[in-house]
Homo-oligomer: A and B are copies of this chain.
Amino acid sequence: MDAELRYDARGLIPAVVQDATTGAVLMVAWMNAAALRLTQASGEAHFWSRSRGALWHKGATSGNVQRVREIRYDCDGDTLLLLVDPAGPACHTGAMSCFYRTLAVGQAGDEGV
């Protein structure tokens, strides 16, 4: 129920997208209420593009749609988790996941990567 969700001051909520099969975290994007409703109704991930200020059907151009198996939300209702079957890479770089770079751990932060 949308009433349990807490959108931020911009009317947005972050959505973590995870590959339902591999468990890989693919990307994080933002939804507004309309994007969530479109996602629920169509079964394909829709987001709100903050840079373009427009609804965004993931994969509409690239073909790399994300079929949504499950939508979860967290204990305080301010983050979503989508379990998806991706038709192709999540990242505009062609990487399967947007999280393909690492920072150093276990040393002073200034030396991070």
A residues neighboring B (CB under 8 Å): 1-2, 4, 14, 16, 18, 22-25, 27-28, 33, 36-41, 43, 68-76, 79-81, 91-93, 95, 98-110, 112-113
- Copies of this chain in the oligomer: 2
Q: Which residues of B contact A22 (CB under 8 A)?
A: 23
Given contacts A14-B14, A39-B109, A79-B98, 15 further A-B contacts (CB under 8 A): A1-B112, A2-B112, A25-B25, A25-B81, A28-B79, A36-B109, A38-B109, A39-B105, A40-B106, A41-B107, A69-B105, A72-B103, A73-B102, A75-B92, A79-B99
Q: Are B112 and A100 in contact (CB-based, < 8 A)?
A: no
Which chain B positions have C-beta within 8 A of A68?
105
**Alpha-carbon separation in the docked complex, A112 to B1 (Å):** 5
Chain B residue, CB-CB nearest to A109: B37
Tell me the minimal C-beta distance from A56 to chain B in angstroms: 14
- Complex: chain B residue closest to A34, CB-CB: B109
A-B contact pairs, 15 of them (CB 8 A): A2-B112, A4-B101, A25-B81, A33-B109, A37-B108, A37-B110, A40-B105, A40-B107, A40-B108, A40-B109, A41-B106, A43-B106, A71-B104, A73-B101, A79-B99
